[in-house]
Structure 1
Amino acid sequence: MMRVGVAVAFLGLAAGVAQADIIQFRSPTGNINCIMVSDPSGATARCDLTELTPSYTRRPAGCKFDWGRSFAVGNTGKGYLACVSDAVGGAGVAVLRYGQAVSLGGISCVSAETGMTCTNAKGHGFSVSKAKQKLF
């Protein structure tokens, strides 16, 4: 597995300082932008799509922010449609070339010509592309 663009961030919390590992990457086309975060409370992978034909058209329950373009999975549980008020990606984010993979905190993401797939150790996650998105 290849590690792409690893950065260590220190987040100040009321009870002290917690350390988080963060990996950001994008697909070769730039249409899929992803972030993986692992800290003492667990890990999450999230990918946002710039352009897509939506496979999910029902707003997540209780979501008051943007939805339908962001997909996530934790190191436990199933993949889910994320309700977000931000976006991942930006200038200078490393490209995860087709056939390459990156892992952090028990979650792995693989880049393919057919899209990006992120899974946890239980086999749950998501697969996203411009044409189709799938949660499992």
Structure 2
Amino acid sequence: MTGALAGLSRGLKIFLVVDLVLIVVLAVTAILLLGGGGDDPTPQAGTPTSSTATSSSEPTRSASDDVATSDTEQRFASPTGNIVCDMTGEGVTCTIANTSVEPPAIAGCTGAGTGHVITLTTGGVDVPCTEQVPDAAGGDVEVLEYGSSQQVGEYTCTSGSDGMSCTGADGVGFRVATAERVELP
């Protein structure tokens, strides 16, 4: 009986050693796959890129690697698809399909889409009179993930869980979300 217990003990020890080795291998593999390459300058998957059919140049990444810049037109959507923005060197136009914000009163405007479009140009922020409520983004529109930014010329838009914020070089701009439309200083 003592020999049987000694054999069981030896088998248990081998089992534990093998388990320990497997756990260490798994931990090292996870570290290499998830956290490795901290100085890798290659953009990660899901980084915004040019999605305009007429554009042949890919955006470049800034040193902080969270802002894609381009000199061409860019079109992108919030992760929910509710907000779609078009940027050029001349300005930014964002549309929001679903909003609970009351549209501004515009003399002579009875358009059902008013309040669903907001623009930013060198002239400032504007909410134009529009006839139709825009649709949510389709699957062909590039997604600007939360925390990521897109820049064209002097204009920058940043996607956040609190909405899409777009500003010019002077800091003037807007943030638009389902329950909010705010002009930024």
Task: Tell me if TM exceeds 0.5.
Answer: yes
- 1:77·1:124 contact (CA, 8 Å) conserved in 2? no
Partner of 1:21: 72
Residue 125 in structure 1 maps to residue 173 in structure 2:
yes
For the aligned residue pairs, the C-alpha RMSD in angstroms reads: 2.6
The structure that has the greater radius of gyration is 2
- Equivalent position to 2:124, from 78, 86, 94: 78
Partner of 2:12: none
Residue 31 in structure 1 maps to residue 82 in structure 2:
yes
TM-score between both structures, scaled by the size of structure 2: 0.56
Q: Which has the higher strand share?
A: 1
- 2:173·2:183 contact (CA, 8 Å) conserved in 1? yes
Task: In structure 2, give the amino acid aligned to 1:52.
Answer: T
TM-score between both structures, scaled by the size of structure 1: 0.74
Counterparts of 2:75 and 2:180, CA distance in 1: 22
Identical-residue share of aligned pairs (%): 30
Name structure 2 gaps, 5 residues minimum. Answer: 1-46, 56-70
Residue 47 in structure 1 maps to residue 94 in structure 2:
yes
Task: In structure 2, give the amino acid aligned to 1:29.
Answer: T
Partner of 1:93: 141
Higher relative contact order (CA 8 A, sep 6+): 1
How far off is 1:37 after superposition? 2.1
Partner of 2:52: 7
Counterparts of 2:127 and 2:147, CA distance in 1: 25
How far off is 1:55 after superposition? 4.1
Classify 1:55/1:84 alpha carbon distance in 2 versus 1 (closer, same or farther; 3 Å): closer
How far off is 1:49 after superposition? 0.7
Q: Which has the higher helix share?
A: 2
Task: In structure 2, give the amino acid aligned to 1:77.
Answer: G
